[in-house]
Amino acid sequence: MKLSALTIRRGPDFAPEPVVPLVFGTRRAPSPGLRLGEELIGRTAILALDGEFDSYTAPEVDRVLDLVLRRCPQRLVVDLARVRVLSSAGLEVLVACHRRAGPRTDLRVVAATRSTWRPLRIARLHETLVIHSSRAAAVAAPGFGEPRA
């Protein structure tokens, strides 16, 4: 396995430097419509998406989520706060991630804008996924079996 950096970007607004270092088996051309950033706080992994989460970028996000889930974090927060487009392919990736996480990982989704909240509601995924309006709320909220403060 090679250690490489994932840079997914589009337009002159984004910096050309790598966004998040990850371990990849093979190198593929990065998707131009989305940037990914990963952060680890204790046993909570946060994957922040910035851009368009559509059929073009969904396979790459699915692959990165799979890599994150292989590390068995206690909680995984998928931050969609800066996502401008959330298509059905992106929703499918979130549902697949929810299934793969199972009982061992507490999956949380941050949907702060209409462009992310509305597709989740239309697909009725707000009944299946745990959705928060901010990253801080998703990280701080008690998980399953944790006492409330």
Q: DSSP state, 146?
A: P
Residue 28, in any domain of the structure: yes
Residue 45, in any domain of the structure: yes
**Number of neighbouring beta carbons within 10 Å of residue 11:** 8
Residue 96, in any domain of the structure: yes
- Which domain does 104 fall in, by range? 2-140
The Cα 107–Cα 64 span in angstroms is 15
Residue 115, in any domain of the structure: yes
The Cα 147–Cα 149 span in angstroms is 6
Provide the pLDDT for residue 14: 46
Q: How many CA atoms lie within 13 A of 83 on its CB side?
A: 31
Residue 146, in any domain of the structure: no
Query: Would you state the structure tokens that stand for residue 58, as one six-digit string?
Result: 């969904």
pLDDT digits (tens, 9 = 90+) for 34-47: 899 999 999 999 99
Provide the pLDDT for residue 2: 38
Residue 149, in any domain of the structure: no
Provide the pLDDT for residue 22: 43
Average pLDDT for runs of 10 along the chain of length 149: 42 45 39 84 94 94 95 95 95 96 93 95 94 94 63
- The reported pTM is 0.76
pLDDT digits (tens, 9 = 90+) for 108-137: 999 999 999 999 999 999 999 999 999 999
Residue 148, in any domain of the structure: no
Give the type of residue at 32: P
Residue 6, in any domain of the structure: yes
Count how many domains the chain has: 1
The Cα 21–Cα 36 span in angstroms is 10
CATH of the domain at 62: 3.30.750.24
